[in-house]
Structure 1
Amino acid sequence: MLMPYLLAFLVALSPAADQPAATAAGSAPRTAAAQPEGLAAYVEQQARQGFSGAVLVARGAEVLLEQEATTGAATRPVRAYWLGSLSKQFAAAAVLKLAEQGRLQVQDSLPRFFAAVPADKRRITLHQLLTHTAGLADRYSADGETDFNRAVRAILRQPLSAAPGKGYRYSSDGYALLALAVEKAAGMPYEQYLRTQLLEPAGLRQTGFWGEPLPPDLKLAPVLDEQRTRRVDSRVYRQGQSQANYGYRGATGMYSTARDLLRWISALRGRQLLGEGSLRQLWAPAVPVRREGEREVFYGYGWVVLTRGGQTVELRHSGVEDWLGHNSHLILAGEYTIAVLSNAGDPNGEAWSRKVAEGLQQRLAAP
């Protein structure tokens, strides 16, 4: 049964909702700072301080702000940015889509998909991988691996950091393993399944994958430091080009634009990609992570879920490809969507995308 607080939040996210949930950014703008001109002025201020990237703020289907801040002249064609761990929500949606198609269940354990699973990992389930409770460490074990079986072995031979099911421990290895399970269940490459079952139905034409050529009307935003990329494993990145490998499937390895991220969220909200039950699973607060004042932070399926007083008030996730300088932050708060993509790195340990997204959210919430 759907928990009442999640039902209220899903109703607020629905295109047909008349009343938004009471959230940090869940009411109509009331101050000059929260008007489109004020939001644009804030982004311009951040650009003068070093921010470079793409920003989009929408209330429902209405785009309040869509802005590109660049360090030089504006570029055409459209610029895309690497999403980093924001890619995890696409992997989670793929698992739930396969479950709807009867090809797997989220409680399936690893031997359902892989041979010769070590004894200490045989009880790990897809649900535990999705919620970072499988006990896998965050070692990027499959980086550079291009063979399915070698990639599986590279992840599964690593010692567990905790017993499966015994608490939250963030693991990109777990999401790389999910991508391998998606390939096994779907009977096709991970990228092909996501493209045909999720990206194309959602109308995402500016979103793609590590190691693939870009459409002719799309350009990747520049990396922050070319020198840093030269120190990366050549099986991952070589001569300015990403190289397809299993370490960059599932956990990371997707690029997109702010407009495509809005299309993605709109398609999810409109139940165009997943049924009602699957969407509830995607956004449910599955496992506790920490408390932030009055808010409790949970992890769902590829999403961070914030609750207050037992009610879901916000969904968010971030991503960082630190050695490229690309990062991303996506916030769903009531009727608002805030998407920020950046190639300006993370000065002082804080990604520019997160700083700008949270600054915009504060302005939308101003009384």
Structure 2
Amino acid sequence: MTKNFIPYGQQWIDEDDIREVVEVLRSNYLTTGPKIEEFEKKFATYVGAKYAVALANGTAALHAACFAAGIGEGDEVITTPMTFAASANCILYQGATPVFADIDPNTYNIDPADIRRKITQKTKAIIPVDFTGQPVLIDEIMAIANEHNLIVIQDAAHSLGADYKGRKIGSIAHMTEFSLHPVKHITTGEGGVITTDDKSLYNKLKLFRTHGITRDSELLHNKEEGPWYYEQLELGYNYRITDIQCALGISQLRKLDDFILRRRAIIKRYNEALNRLEGVVIPYQEQNTNSSWHLYIIKLELEKLKANRRAIFDALRAQNIGVNVHYIPVYYFPYYQQMGYTKGLCPTAEKLYESIITIPLFPKMSDTDIEYVINVVSKVINYYLK
């Protein structure tokens, strides 16, 4: 057994990050200060978007995007079941109805053909998710949206730094959401970002994170009051991010490309070793996409194994490998079942869920960690081969 538990994901914080945060702690602004705008501008530049709005977390960012898109009661929004619950919950927050489209059996991303099948007169938007860091077929999805006058909110919580046909994710959809949770590519502790090229959406996003309140003279109805004056224009939320978090984000952003290079080096080694392992299918990569590899998921060929997924999961955990499963189809949850969702909606996603395991992947993994994971996965799978 390895001495230390190897989680499936983990942040990498160094002394540069700590210095940036300490500098803010010693400054006059802990929140609503200059570091937020600095981080937003640098983030927007990195992904190639005109605007970025930083919020308290990725879920808040998705909620803000749904608000900015004008999603409300009576609307339907199409998304994938193979995601964290936030991708669907944000639709419910606005009083709308999530509609789940099935996935492509190779990429595990939402299937554009099923998106088309699920569009109705009530459809308002599409929230495709870049599962594991591999971009969805965003050109096809944008074309579908343009045909039906729909908004696309690309959930890129997994894909910061990825690109599609040479364009960075964050510069293509009407709005793109990123997560800055510690297991993601960079972290602000908790945090999220929405990028867009649309100034009207940008203004709505900024309003939403601050109670719907603004001091912006361009937006005020009464422009005659003094410098103390502000107005509430919408019913927003307190979804602000702090200068402390954004200082960490600025420091992390400088290292993002190095983090991604390390992730890709780990993937190369995993692929070389596990592609030869009978009983396992390694991740498929779509042409013209360049994943930023948030997760590495192996699919078990259960028909070749004399054990189910649970037994293999437990065997790997027993050897201190922090495997996980991403994801339980959202509509399996009791909350969604109580609303009338039932199993059978997305057969490909449901079948996939039964056979996947996420193995560790994060830049701070040592070469020894990587080889240990490969060796244990290989031994466990070979032990259970028929």
TM-score category, normalised to shorter length? under 0.3
Output the TM-score relative to the length of structure 2. 0.25
Output the TM-score relative to the length of structure 1. 0.26
- Bigger fraction of residues in strand: 1
Tell which has more relative contact order, 1 or 2 (C-alpha 8 A, sep 6+): 1
Larger Rg: 2
